Amino acid sequence: MEDKLFGSINIYKSKGMTSHDVVSVLRRLTGEKQIGHTGTLDPFAEGVLPVCIGKATRLIEYMADDKAYIGTVQFGKSTTTYDTEGEIVKTSDKKVTLADVEKALENFKGEIEQFPPIYSAIKVKGKKLYEYARKGEEVEIKPRKVTINDLRIKSFDEESQILELYIDCSKGTYIRSIANDLGDVLGVGGYLIKLIRTKAGYFTLERSISLDDLKTKEDVKNNLIYPLEYLDYPRYELNEEERNKISHGISIKIHSHEVEYIILTHGGKIAAVTQVQGGKSVLAKVFI
């Protein structure tokens, strides 16, 4: 049997809240301990935060993880954290033009390497980077490859030197690093003053809901999105005999090309996630 609450909810995380805060509120509202989000948003940031509830947490690894953001960059200063939370470490009176910005942005399209901010939760030798930073300890930070699918200027005010960007990118991209690195390329410094995540895989800003609009467990239940809506994999409907085998962890024959994953369904409900190898299912997760 599936959990009474089984699915994901598209939360709009407000600035100042942590992703953990969101999970804590939903646990209090639902009484459900099995809750997890699909990609941390810094307290400084706001926007889309998909949260899985019940056994849907077991599906997080199969969810699309591309992201999109609107980031606002202030040129003329750099900070330790690459955003408004840090100390100013460099200033410049030089003004850049729209043409300067357009040219510099060409360095940030496609597959790029970026250094994560020292004030981030990435672990090196078992410790988070910000733990080293807070203690003033030096640590080697290695660049990471990320992919920028789309990078566009939404607006640029040459007087205030404030740039608004739309960024569609792969998982693990640090928009703070783009702001900082863009400022370095332009020779004036730059830091992020606002960040809104507008998309996380299937989940979009337009369809998100604020925690303030969730007052009861029933409110959460009414806004749950069933996993079949957001899992983008081929599907195979089980007959009764196949369903019984799957429920006991027994492989079944599937006439399909070998694919990364197939969603097995029964009666229009998710029954399992499987791979196909040699014409047989290799079960990854079972929900019946």
Which one is catalytic: 42, 83, 100, 181?
A: 42
Looking at residue 253, what DSSP letter applies? B
Q: Which residue has the tokens 């604020």?
A: 210
Q: Are 148 and 110 in contact (CB under 8 A)?
A: yes
Residue 42 among the catalytic residues: yes
Q: Are 127 and 118 in contact (CB under 8 A)?
A: no
Closest CA to 78 of 188, 154, 157, 164: 188
23 token code pair: 């999970």
Backbone angles phi, psi at 16, to 5 degrees: 100, -25
By CB atoms closer than 10 A (0-12, 13-18, 19+), residue 82 is buried
186: Cβ–Cβ under 8 A, 6 or more apart, which residues? Answer: 75, 96, 100, 101, 104
List residues with catalytic annotation. Answer: 42
